[in-house]
């Protein structure tokens, strides 16, 4: 059974699809295809069915990432099939922990930047939606910086399952 990771932001059109694309690329590079599944969702359903924001797509493609995506809303019953739920900011963390049906589900929720050893105390990935392209570039930098630490943690869990 694969290890399942889901990235969650507000509307699932900017930060979480970006994190999903970047982390999926890291999983592939690490040879963990088939062992790790990567997904994303939003805390709200405003954009359900929509593609990623065009600025997200542009930044991802400029940096060599794939960007096919359809937005959807995170549902509490997903916790039972997920191993790790990655929130993009403290508001998402709180919303997801409120949705958690059990203490075990709540423990599955982590902030993305908590995996970046140089992130400091501000662990939020700012929402780039209301700004320009530079905000999307900044978001990508933060996602890329946290990805190696997240991959190392996921690799440990996958290795533990295989043992």
Residues annotated catalytic, as ranges: 9, 15, 127
Among residues 52, 34, 72, 46, which one has the least CA distance to residue 128?
52
Tokens of 103: 């203490």
The C-alpha torsion from 92 through 115 and 158 to 84, rounded to 10°, is -10
Distance CA 84, CA 7 (A): 9
Phi, psi values for residue 157, rounded to 5°: -65, -40
DSSP secondary structure letter of residue 80: G
Q: At residue 73, what are phi and psi to the nearest 5 degrees?
A: -100, 135
C-alpha separations of 73 from 9, 41, 77, 122, 147 in Å: 10, 5, 12, 26, 23
CA angle 93, 95, 99 (to 5 degrees): 115
């Amino acid at each position: 059974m694969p290890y399942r990771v889901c990235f969650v932001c507000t509307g699932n059109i900017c930060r979480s699809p970006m994190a999903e694309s970047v982390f999926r690329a890291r999983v592939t590079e690490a040879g963990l295809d088939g062992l790790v599944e990567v997904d994303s969702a939003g805390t709200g359903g405003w954009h359900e069915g929509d593609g990623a924001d065009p600025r997200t797509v542009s930044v991802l493609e400029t940096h060599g990432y794939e960007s096919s995506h359809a937005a959807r809303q995170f549902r509490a019953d997903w916790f039972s099939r997920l191993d790790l739920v990655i929130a993009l900011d403290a508001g998402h963390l709180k919303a997801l922990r409120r949705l958690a049906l059990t203490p075990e589900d709540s423990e599955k929720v982590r902030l993305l930047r908590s995996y970046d050893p140089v992130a400091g105390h501000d662990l939020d990935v700012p929402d780039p939606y209301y700004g320009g392209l530079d905000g999307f570039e900044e978001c990508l930098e933060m996602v890329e910086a946290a990805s190696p630490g997240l991959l190392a943690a996921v690799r440990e869990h996958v290795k533990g399952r295989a043992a």
